[in-house]
Structure 1
Amino acid sequence: MSKDPIENLRQLIRCPSVTPAEGGALTALSAQLSPLGFHVERMVAEDEDTPDIENLYARLGSEGPHLMFAGHTDVVPVGDEEAWSHPPFAADIAGGEMYGRGAVDMKGGVACFTAAVARYIEKHGAPKGSISFLITGDEEGPAVNGTIKLLQWAHEKGERWDACLVGEPTNPDELGDMIKIGRRGSVSGTVTVFGVQGHVAYPHLADNPVRTALAMAGALMDPPFDHGTDDFQPSNLEVTSLDTGNRATNVIPAKVSFAFNIRFNDAWTAESVMAEIVRRLDAQTIGSHRGGRGPARYEIVWAERPSHVFLTRDDRLLASLASAIRDKTGKEPKLSTTGGTSDARFIKDYCPVVEFGLVGQTMHMVDERVPIADLEALTRIYLAFIERWFADAAA
């Protein structure tokens, strides 16, 4: 039955696997993969101040070349369940679409790749090489106990991969629109500016840190960090919050904090973009405050583990996937580095990685849903990709 993506997805959606709950989703996937000959292992990762996460690694074959499919079965919360036209974990089909949380992001991709592998085995027998599934339950959460630790665990056990396909929803409008071949980097931080608390009627006795904070925030957002590169859109920094912790309208606050995130392209490294941010902040510490007390004081706390920019240039991987898409859809997929981060940022340290999955228009929304026709079409694309990738490897 695992060669049917509709049934595969129905089983997965009916598992309420909202991060960090496994919800039965990995158990359902294990039941789909084991009859195909996969050796399935469940690995639990843990860390301080984060929930334990159950992950899955399954491999078919013991030799190279080794193709990995990566993804996640955890999903975001459903929000207002009463606003759904169909229960979010019922996997109802209506109007040619299957409704449910995770239908697009990304249980649908997992269901289709499982079906594609089942059809490959039925058509060709076991691959002359290996296929593995690396599936986390922590992609929609803090991503601390998921893919990054599952990769380390598998690598320490001797696993090596030649290429990876991540099944995230990459297509903006129609199946076949876009392959993600890289991602911008991401750095976040919080800046706290210190002043002197006082009465608003006696500002000469105080020092309002909001003045400096606003100047700093403005300097981070303008001028632009760059105007884009050949492969990436421009880097962009956004201030996402500003807070004094002060609720009294007649009190000048003692300090103010603001948070920011920058998505940066390959004109920068995480280290160089952090240095540029500090340079811009330092330039605003003199002259943007008042009180005659010398340079404004501030501190910056960086979020842990910045995401590094990457670009995949593996010709065999890209050609195998692009030709499969052209053959099954008639479309020429755009090679893109747009969007946010994904777990591909961890995988790129182990092997070349690209992303291709369903249309992402309803992901994370009320009434998340996927056309039944797209499930079948994506399964056929994945099957053609597996066939081409192993054939090219043997050539």
Structure 2
Amino acid sequence: MSDVVSLTCELIAQHSVTPDDAGCQQLIAQRLHAAGFAIEHLRFGEVDNLWAIHGSGGPVLALLGHTDVVPPGPREAWASDPFAPEVRDGVLYGRGAADMKGSVAAFVIALERFVAAKPEHPGTVALLLTSDEEGDAIDGVRKVANVFRERGQRIDWCITGEPSSKERLGDLLRVGRRGTLSATLTVRGVQGHVAYPEKARNPIHQAVPALAELAAKRWDDGYETFPPTSLQISNIHAGTGANNVIPGELQVLFNLRYNPHWRAEQLEAECEAILHAHGLDYAIHWHRGGEPFHTPEGPLRSAARDVLAQFSGATPEESTGGGTSDARFIAPLGAQCIEIGPVNASIHKVDEHVRVADLERLPDLYLALVERLLV
């Protein structure tokens, strides 16, 4: 069994369901410390974060990942225990195999090889890990980024190991991500009997025109490789369960995924202006999940494009699609960020897996990127 497959299996065997790291970072820290890295553990609340660094000065290249995984779901639905890694027909199965313990293991192997071959390399190479990417993302990289900002920690380039590939390793290079903004809207009415609507105020009836306007609004026409900003209503709840009672309150959850045309506070103001225009008696709570980021043409994108073309046999698609990643917290520090990882077809699913052949090539891919940027 190769080094990267062996380490991936060790990590999968740890029951690190978010936000529990379950010892993954300690295992990695021991290896990187032995390789000459300076190790810093940053624990906030129930979340473990690891910052391992080698070298000094600039440029600073950080590899970014997470050791937490989503819950496996019903164990009986899996062909094998999700926390007992198993190779079948050239495929490694287990929770986190693709998202993203395979990439984390490949990062470690690549870094060990790099500093062993070039102990006096230019600049700084680092690994940043959290156990709060799949959860609330409050005490993970978001909090670490605040610490870095306070201490003036520089990061020039960041490579996130999220599973970005579509069909074959390296066929997609993610060069940005949309921002995410969530809202909990409460519309207040007056409860009453449906037979006497004049004595009540129905918050559903009042809210529907405003919600229809929010849902139909064309926010923009996209931004470079970003799709147009979109708003999706994900949950509506009101009423007592009885069909003869006008509810006194309506709760609505919605989310905006937005491109760099916007900042969160601008979208909040636009939405609230619509709610005001409809005369609603409401309260709204906003959660800013992260601003959009976009990496322009430069040394990082150029190096990544060349390396991925070498590994996949074709120029990669360059995309800003998908959800969010922890790179959204690193980009505001002034870092250029990209995402490169294994095929994402099975992530968060039953029988999550990664092809062993892809996993065994991943350290070489990351090593080639580090060498292109720091040598």
- Aligned-pair CA distance for 1:255: 1.3
1:123 to partner: Cα distance: 3.9
Distance 1:298 1:260 in 2: 15
Which residue of structure 1 aligns with residue 308 of structure 2?
Answer: 325
Q: Determine helix, strand or coil for the equivalent of 1:258.
A: strand
- So what's the TM-score if we normalise by structure 1? 0.90
CA shift, 1:133, in A, is: 0.6
Paired amino acid for 1:72: H
Report 1:290-301 matches (<5 A): 296-301=280-285
What is the aligned partner in structure 2 of residue 117 from structure 1? 111
SS of equivalent to 1:374: helix
Q: Contact (CA 8 Å) 1:213, 1:258: kept in 2 or not?
A: no
Cα distance between partner residues in 1 of 2:149 and 2:262:
29
The residue matched to 1:19 in structure 2 has which SS?
coil
Once the two structures are superposed, residues 251-282 of structure 1 have per-residue CA deviations (whole angstroms, 9 ceiling, x without a partner) of: 11111111110011122221222122122222
Letter in 1 for 2:108: T
- Aligned: 1:218 with 2:212: yes
Is 1:70 matched up with 2:64?
yes
Letter of the structure 2 residue corresponding to residue 5 of structure 1:
V
SS at the partner of 1:243?
strand
The range that moved more, 229-238 or 31-40, is 31-40
TM superposition shift of 1:38: 1.2
- Cα distance in 2 for partners of 1:229, 1:43 equals 36
Q: Which residue of the other structure, out of 295, 298, 302, is the alignment partner of 1:312? A: 295
Matched with 1:235 is: 229
Deviation at 1:283, TM superposition (A): 2.9
**Aligned partners of 1:89 and 1:218: how far apart in 2?**
45
The amino acid that maps onto 1:95 is D
**For residues 222 and 153 of structure 2, what CA distance do their matches in structure 1 show?**
37
Residue type at the aligned position of 2:312: T
Q: 1:283-306 CA deviation, whole Å, 9 max, x = no partner?
A: 333xxxxxxxxxx42222222x34
**Equivalent AA in structure 1 for residue 39 of structure 2:** V
Kindly state the Cα deviation for residue 154 of structure 1 after the two structures are TM-superposed: 4.2
Q: d(CA) in 2 for partners of 1:314 and 1:131?
A: 21
Is the 2:168–2:312 Cα contact (8 Å) retained in structure 1?
no
1:234-265 Cα shifts (integer Å, max 9, x gaps): 11101111111422221111111111100111
Question: Is 1:90 matched up with 2:74?
Answer: no
Partner of residue 342, structure 1: 325
Amino acid at match of 1:127: H
Equivalent residue of 2:28, what SS? helix
Match of 2:122 among 118, 122, 128: 128
Q: 1:282 to 1:158 in 2, by over 3 A?
A: closer
Q: How far did residue 139 of structure 1 move? A: 0.6
Secondary structure of residue in 2 paired with 1:190: strand
Q: Helix, strand or coil for the counterpart of 1:217?
A: helix
In structure 2, stretches of 5+ residues that fail to align are none
Query: Which residue number in structure 2 is paired with residue 354 of structure 1?
Result: 338
Deviations 1:18-38 (A, max 9, x none): 112121111221233222111
1:216 and 1:66 mapped to 2: Cα distance?
48
Q: Which stretches in structure 1 are left out of the alignment for 5+ residues?
A: 47-51, 286-295
1:189 deviates by 1.0
May I ask how many residue pairs the two structures share in their alignment?
374
